[in-house]
Amino acid sequence: MATKEDLESFVTQVTRPDDFEEFWQGVMAELAQAPLEPRVTPEPMRSNQSVQVSQAFYRSLDGLEIFAWYSVPAQGEGPFPAILVLPGYKSDPGLRRDWGAKGVAVLSVAVRGKLRSNSQFNPGYPGLLTHGVESRDTYSYRGVIADCVRGVDFLLARPEIDPDRIYVSGSSQGGGLALITAGLRPEVRGGVSGYPFLCCFPESMKMLRSFPYDELNCYARAHSGRVPQMIETLRYFDAVNFALSIQCPMVVGIALEDEVCPPETSYAAYRNLAGPKELWLFPNSGHGNAHDYPAKEAAWLDNQIKQDLTQKVHG
Amino acid sequence: MTPNTKEFETFWDSLDQELASVPLDLVTERDEFYSEPEWTVYRMTYSSLRGYRLFSWLSVPRQLAQSKAPAVIRMPDYASVHDVIYTSLRHNSVLMNPTYRGQRLSDGSFQAQYPGLLTEGIDQPDNYVMRLAFGDALRAVDALLGQDIVEVGPWTAMGSGLGGSLALASAFRRSTCVGVAADTPLALGNPAVVNPESMSENMAYPLAELGDYLRIYPHRSSKVVESSSPLDPVKMAAEIEAPVLLALGKRDRGQCPLPVGEELASRLPKCDLRVYDGANEGGGHEHVAIRIAWLKERLGIA
């Protein structure tokens, strides 16, 4: 089991490219030019007394249509705070009805390649992590990250959502994407990143044998001559480099027995956070299965949402 | 203990008869990209009920101590993706990761939706997708035992959620199974998950899908029971001869609520029950080591 000392002594070789901000400003500018074209289709079967569930769609980079589950409180008029929930690598986006009774909306995004968002782009699992990794301009995660950022745009375009109270959360890949989205969009007011993936790629692929990181080893074996290119590309998509831009309150949750996302690498992202931050360590827990994590995540977000409302009302 | 009904026995016998009428038509292809120094990975495709083509990953260690390879079938959970996982078992046993229809790589003519799959066709017992998915799991066992890449010796089944129930069904219908490790097996078909109290908004997905469905189609409740009842793992339990390692979560509201799991354990002839504080993650990390050691013992791996 990793110890806190192990985490603190770990130093990643990942550094931020000099043109990191320029690259992402370019991607964001390209994204801003694309029409959002939001659509919402009510889903009566999934709705109940506390929450109205809809299928949401919006356009992202390369014109792809992205699907999300959109859950809005059935009671009250809003505007409601909202949580952008970002998905794990291979898992399906959860339909979240647990926040409706608390007066909170949830947008749970199926990034490109996932069910309902894969008609034009479908590299598979395994597959996504190495798709187009030869260049930062062709890498799959350029679009995946854009899909998450577009989720913020979707929420900002909704009249029932309070634009000053948008939060992010997710576990595993969703944890990495939560950090990245918060790093790219200052409208995000806080978030929780659990067991974050997409951290310290060069070390992570060597520390464990599990997919998804092991996909990079498969790629390296098959294309040994392209490894330097791959490592260079990944610098632009590493969550530790986005953490440096995050000013809002963030939590990083780490399972000390994590066998999928090395705890040291998640800590490297935590260390880089530029704003208020909180660290949760879960001993005797593995990837995604700390028994207390869901309740802690819900309590932290609930508290943050209430604090921000108080601050907004009282200035 | 109430004996199973004739309808239950007929359901499973007819499912197996239907499977037997479909040629396996197994094709295996070596996957160089995902093969590693310690194991070779194969892509398998084969036919199941109604001729549906299914996909499976197969991982075979490059060095095996036994002439007949120990094998583990890791049955798929209720999710669109079922990939090759890393487990230390992969070093010295064959690991098969089959899919059921509608999952990625087995979605040529039908793409499963989550939520949604659990009630797909549930008003037509013969066409209920979960009946077909359980048939797909049995067909995966046939494919493992029928492939000619490696001679399989003792085999076990494992899985969580739906995968746990599929693993139990494998042992129920394929008596050569030497052990089942089931985490929070999906309690589909159990009377406790279709009564009004358990249909409350406190239920979690995937079982909550049944509540969603019956809220819209209350008049179909008898069809829901008829379609799902034979898939109740509790009904299978008494006929499962293989030892079962069963993990449950005290806070599980979406896969195997504790009372159902305890009833299941009480009906299994050889059950090692472990109850944890978690929800549908069951024992989480703590149980992983227990499960691996237990499976190794069943498989005769040092």
Query: What value of ipTM does the predicted structure carry?
Result: 0.94
A235 touches chain B (CB under 8 A): no
Which of A130, A108, A236, A117 has the alpha carbon at shortest distance from A183?
A236
B208: its two tokens: 């909550």
A200: its two tokens: 């310290």
Q: Residue B194: its pLDDT value, please?
A: 78
pLDDT tens for A235-282 read 999 999 999 999 999 999 999 999 999 999 999 999 999 999 999 999
Beta bridge partners of A188: A166
Distance of residue B1 Cα from the nearest chain A Cα, in angstroms: 34
A284 touches chain B (CB under 8 A): yes
B276 touches chain A (CB under 8 A): yes
B284 contacts A290? CB cut-off 8 A? yes
3-state secondary structure B71-109: EEEECCCCCCCCCCCCCHHHHCCEEEEECCCCCCCCCCC
Q: Residue B200: its pLDDT value, please?
A: 61
Considering only residues 93 to 122 of chain B, which have any Cβ-Cβ distance to chain A shorter than 8 Å?
A: 104-105, 111, 113-115
Burial class (CB in 10 A: 0-12, 13-18, 19+), B113: middle
Nearest residue of chain A to residue B114 (CA atoms): A92
Considering only residues 126 to 185 of chain B, which have any Cβ-Cβ distance to chain A shorter than 8 Å?
A: none
DSSP secondary structure letter of residue B5: P
Which residues, at least 6 apart from A85, have a Cβ–Cβ distance to it below 8 Å? A93, A94, A96, A106, A107, A108, A109, A168, A169, A170, A174
Q: Residue B87: its pLDDT value, please?
A: 87
Torsions phi, psi of A311, nearest 5? -65, -35
For residue A249, the one-letter residue type is P
Cα separation, A67 vs A109, whole angstroms:
6
Q: Residue B198: its pLDDT value, please?
A: 56
Burial class (CB in 10 A: 0-12, 13-18, 19+), B165: buried
Cα separation, A83 vs A106, whole angstroms:
5
Which of A187, A162, A188, A190 has the alpha carbon at shortest distance from A76?
A162
**DSSP per position, B182-208:** EES---TT-GGGSSTTTTSTT--TTTH
A214 contacts B115? CB cut-off 8 A? no
**DSSP per position, B239-271:** T--S-EEEEEETT--SS--HHHHHHHHHHSSSE
Q: Residue B173: its pLDDT value, please?
A: 98
Q: Residue B13: its pLDDT value, please?
A: 97
Q: A-B interface: how many C-beta pairs under 8 angstroms?
A: 80
Q: How many CB atoms lie within 10 A of CB A247?
A: 13
Cα separation, A89 vs A174, whole angstroms:
7
For residue A111, the one-letter residue type is V
**DSSP per position, A85-111:** EE--SSSPPP---SSGGGT-EEEEEE-
Torsions phi, psi of B278, nearest 5? -80, -175
Considering only residues 227 to 256 of chain B, which have any Cβ-Cβ distance to chain A shorter than 8 Å?
A: 251
Give the one of B80, B201, B205 whose C-beta lies nearest to A48's C-beta: B201
A39 touches chain B (CB under 8 A): no
Cα separation, A169 vs A265, whole angstroms:
18
Cα separation, B46 vs B268, whole angstroms:
31
Between the CA of residue B278 and those of A172, A290, B22, B284, what are the distances in Å? 18, 8, 41, 8
Q: Within chain A, which residues score under 50 in pLDDT?
A: none
Beta bridge partners of A56: A40, A68
Rg for chain B (alpha carbons), in Å? 18
B33 contacts A218? CB cut-off 8 A? yes
Mutate to test the interface with A, among B199, B213, B285 (most CBs of A within 10 A): B285
Beta bridge partners of A68: A56, A109
Between the CA of residue B78 and those of A91, B113, B160, what are the distances in Å? 10, 10, 9
Between the CA of residue A143 and those of A37, A92, A131, A179, what are the distances in Å? 17, 18, 11, 16
Q: Within chain B, which residues score under 50 in pLDDT?
A: none
B223: its two tokens: 């069809």
Cα separation, B302 vs B285, whole angstroms:
22
Q: Residue B279: its pLDDT value, please?
A: 80
Which residues does chain B have within 8 Å of residue A214's beta carbon, measured at their own beta carbons?
A: 86
Q: Residue A209: its pLDDT value, please?
A: 87
